Chains A and B, each alone.
Chain A
Amino acid sequence: DAKTTQPPSMDCAEGRAANLPCNHSTISGNEYVYWYRQIHSQGPQYIIHGLKNNETNEMASLIITEDRKSSTLILPHATLRDTAVYYCIVRYNTNAGKSTFGDGTTLTVKP
């Protein structure tokens, strides 16, 4: 699986968009980009994933660059409950339970 690099921490004002970057310069053609988050001490929660195209669901949007070497997770209107550790994972679309979760980005949403 390709290695990812994320900033260790970020702040965001409540109600504003939170943009979380992830670098994955060694990604291969068939590897997907996945995002999960972990709130406080709970187990990780799936957010979104994509291969090449930008994706959007009820939680967030995922923007993947054309060369696929980086991506950005966008929370359009961050709330205090979005304060969490966000993990960017790159791997093949097989065996979700073998995901390697790096150190992630700690997002703090401030009032």
Chain B
Amino acid sequence: NAGVTQTPKFQVLKTGQSMTLQCAQDMNHEYMSWYRQDPGMGLRLIHYSVGAGITDQGEVPNGYNVSRSTTEDFPLRLLSAAPSQTSVYFCASYPDPGAPEKLFFGSGTQLSVL
């Protein structure tokens, strides 16, 4: 099983560019989340989804858009990249909101905005 797959692993952008971070899971999980992790800090929730067609904002949503057209995919879009968005981005999926042991994370995307 691939689990949660994030692409790309590394990305460098110039200020003002847009891009989409991809996240796909093959476990048929209803729930998915996006986090960012700045150096030396914990993870902060950007957006999450409780099923196809349903998304909501997390703690730090500004500058990011998400959509969930299928159960498998949950892409994160940066509309106009800023240096403050330099971070490592993690995607997670889980089948049951009350089952913390079933929270699976991808390997992360390291993004640098110059």
Q: Does residue A54 face the partner (Cβ distance < 8 Å to B)? A: no
Q: Would B42 and A104 count as touching, CB distance under 8 A?
A: yes
Q: Which of B42, B93, B99, B101 contacts A103 (CB under 8 A)?
A: B42
On whether A95 and B107 interact (CB within 8 A), knowing A49-B100, A87-B42, the answer reads no
Within the complex, which residue of A46, A93, A96, A101 is in contact with B43, where a contact is CB–CB below 8 Å?
A: A101
Question: Are A46 and B103 in touch, CB under 8 angstroms?
Answer: yes
Q: Is A100's CB within 8 Å of the partner chain B?
A: yes
Contact present for A44 and B97 (CB under 8 Å): no
Q: How large is the interface on A (under 10, 10 to 19, 20 to 34, 35 or more residues)?
A: 20 to 34
- Which residues of B approach A to under 8 Å, CB–CB? 4, 31-33, 35, 40-45, 48, 50, 58-59, 88, 90, 92-94, 96-108
User: For residues 34 through 52 of chain A, which have their beta carbon under 8 Å from a beta carbon of chain B?
Assistant: 34, 36, 41-46, 49
A interface residues with partner B (beta carbon < 8 Å) = 34, 36, 41-46, 49, 87, 93-104
B77 to chain A, nearest CB (A): 19
Q: How near does chain A come to B48, taking the closest CB pair, in angstroms?
A: 5
**Contact A97 B103, beta carbon cutoff 8 Å:** yes
- Give the complex CA separation of A83 and B18 in angstroms: 36
Nearest opposing residue in chain A for B96, CB measure: A96
B107 and A96 form a contact (CB under 8 A): no
Given contacts A41-B88, A98-B58, A104-B42, contact A46 B101 (CB under 8 A): yes
Instruction: Say whether A97 contacts B33, CB under 8 Å.
Output: yes
Chain B residues lying within 8 Å of A36, measured Cβ to Cβ, are 100
